[in-house]
Amino acid sequence: MRMPDTANRSTLNDDGLLAQAFPPVAMFVIMIAAWQAVISAFAIPVYVLPSPGDIWLAIVNNPGPLFRHSGITLFEAVAGFVIGSMMGAVLGTLFAYSKFVARGLLPYVIAANTIPVVAVAPIIIIWFGHGLSSKVAVTAFLSFFPLALNMMKGLQSYDRTIMDVFHIAAATGPQRFFKMRLPNALPYVFVGLKLNVTFSVIGAIVAEFVQADKGLGFVIMTSYRTLNMPRLWAAMLMSALIGMAFFAIISMLERLIVPWHSSLHDNR
């Protein structure tokens, strides 16, 4: 039997982090160098593939607008993520507690989930107008399903013997929910949230493709029309950075909120 030694474990993690960080950083340097070399060697025109230097210049020469547009997309993604996830969590809870609601609504929810977001986005934009709220709504639409389904699964997957333990202890209904079913569902909730991180950035940008005068989707579309490929690539890079930062924040929250679950990965 080994006891978890907190000090020991964090040192191990730090070592692990450094060792983990080196390969991707090294690979990044190699890829950038190869990219630049290929463009020089074959004289590839900039509209086909801009060089890393071109993209870098597109960012640093006029950073203000690019960051402003990124901020807009980030806001839409986060707001849609929060609203959609919360609505999904509520509906998932309803599904878990009411067989009638689950059987009645689940087929339609799953059917709605299969509709491509590009088909839904114009409708939502008609409903919610040309401002930010319609982009938030499209993002929320995408963030809704993963959380509803994972919340339902998490709340239903409790251990029957633990339910007996709560029965012996004369637990009330709210106690069963807050002290057993909800904590038990949290690892599932985080699976849903991590899916939603990706979906929310996609949702925001797709909605901006359909109609927008700001945001990264707007930058990508206008750059495409003017064949300003370095700017398009810069916008793409920003959207990737938003997604990665967002994902990192959710992973950090997961470590804080469900440490018993993430400790599983650390200890093995």
Partner 1 sequence: MAERAAGEGPVTTAASSLVDISGLSLVYGARVGTPVQALDDIDLAIGEGSFVSLIGPSGCGKSTLLRVLGDLLAPTAGSVSIGGKRPVEARLDRQIGFVFQEPALLEWRCVLDNIALPLELRGVARAERDSKARELISLVGLEGFERAWPRQLSGGMRQRAAIARALSTDPRILLLDEPFGALDQITRDRLNMELARIHEITGITVVLVTHSIREAVLLSDRIVVMTPRPGRISKIFDVDLDRPRSLRSRADERFDAYVRLGSDELEKGYADA
User: Where does this chain bind partner 1 (CB under 8 A)?
Assistant: 1-4, 159, 161-162, 164-172, 175, 179-180, 183-184, 186, 258, 260-261, 263-264, 267
Q: Closest distance between partner 1 and the C-beta of residue 99, in Å?
A: 18
Q: Closest distance between partner 1 and the C-beta of residue 255, in Å?
A: 13
108 vs 260 by CB, closer to partner 1 = 260
105 vs 171 by CB, closer to partner 1 = 171
Alpha carbons 125 and 145: distance in angstroms, whole number:
20
CA 92 to chain centre: 19
For residue 26, how many other CB atoms are within 10 A of its CB? 10
Q: Closest distance between partner 1 and the C-beta of residue 259, in Å?
A: 8
Alpha carbons 224 and 218: distance in angstroms, whole number:
10
Alpha carbons 32 and 169: distance in angstroms, whole number:
62
Q: Closest distance between partner 1 and the C-beta of residue 154, in Å?
A: 12
96 vs 109 by CB, closer to partner 1 = 96
Q: Closest distance between partner 1 and the C-beta of residue 159, in Å?
A: 6
Alpha carbons 256 and 96: distance in angstroms, whole number:
26
Q: Closest distance between partner 1 and the C-beta of residue 162, in Å?
A: 5
For residue 262, how many other CB atoms are within 10 A of its CB? 16
Alpha carbons 240 and 75: distance in angstroms, whole number:
15
4 vs 23 by CB, closer to partner 1 = 4
25 vs 256 by CB, closer to partner 1 = 256
Alpha carbons 130 and 208: distance in angstroms, whole number:
10
Per DSSP (E only), the strands in the chain are none
Q: Are 189 and 143 within 8 A, CB to CB?
A: no
Q: Closest distance between partner 1 and the C-beta of residue 263, in Å?
A: 6
1 vs 18 by CB, closer to partner 1 = 1
43 vs 169 by CB, closer to partner 1 = 169
Buried b or exposed e, range 131-141, using 16+ CB within 10 angstroms: ebbbbbbbbbb
Alpha carbons 111 and 88: distance in angstroms, whole number:
15
Q: Are 246 and 143 within 8 A, CB to CB?
A: no
Q: Are 229 and 50 within 8 A, CB to CB?
A: yes
Q: Look up residue 208 and give its two tokens.
A: 């901006």
